[in-house]
């Protein structure tokens, strides 16, 4: 499905206050990433688990999917390795994903 959607983010889905909140939450989540691994069509962010983090991560995904419909998000919670967020699109969208989410290679 992601292969057929336009590679574009529509930030107009947010009110100015929602956009500010989303941007702040995204920055907090990104700051907690312990590693970033590239995959074929995107990347995987890994995090240490902490109380409330999965709820914060789910809130980020809930908002981000509104503006970036071409992205597939997968949250994985593993008792031994912690929390992971896979951000995946199409082969054509990988460069855009890396730029949008400010992932360094």
* Residue 59: pLDDT over 80: yes
Of the options 3.40.50, 3.30.43, 3.30.1360, 1.10.10, the CATH number for the domain spanning 2-100: 3.30.1360
Contact present, 47 and 70 (Cβ < 8 Å): no
Length of the chain in terms of residues written: 105
Please report which helix (H) or strand (E) contains residue 18, including its range.
Answer: helix 16-32
User: Could you give the percent of the chain with pLDDT greater than 70?
Assistant: 91
Tens digits of residue pLDDT in 15-28: 999 999 998 998 89
Strands of the 82-88 sheet, one edge to the other: 33-39, 42-47, 82-88, 72-78
Q: Between residues 90 and 28, which one has the greater pLDDT?
A: 28
Domain ranges of the chain: 2-100
Amino acid 1: pLDDT: 47
Amino acid 11: pLDDT: 87
Give the pLDDT band of residue 3 (cuts 50, 70, 90). low
């Amino acid at each position: 499905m992601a292969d057929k959607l336009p590679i574009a983010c529509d930030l107009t889905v947010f009110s100015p206050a929602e956009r500010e909140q989303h941007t702040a939450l995204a920055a907090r989540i990104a700051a907690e990433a312990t590693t970033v691994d590239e995959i074929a069509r995107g990347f995987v962010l890994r995090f240490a688990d902490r109380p409330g983090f999965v709820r914060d991560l789910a809130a980020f995904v809930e908002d981000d999917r509104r503006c970036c419909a071409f992205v597939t998000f997968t949250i994985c919670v593993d008792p031994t390795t912690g929390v992971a967020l896979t951000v995946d699109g199409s082969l054509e969208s990988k460069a855009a994903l890396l730029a949008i989410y400010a992932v360094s290679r």
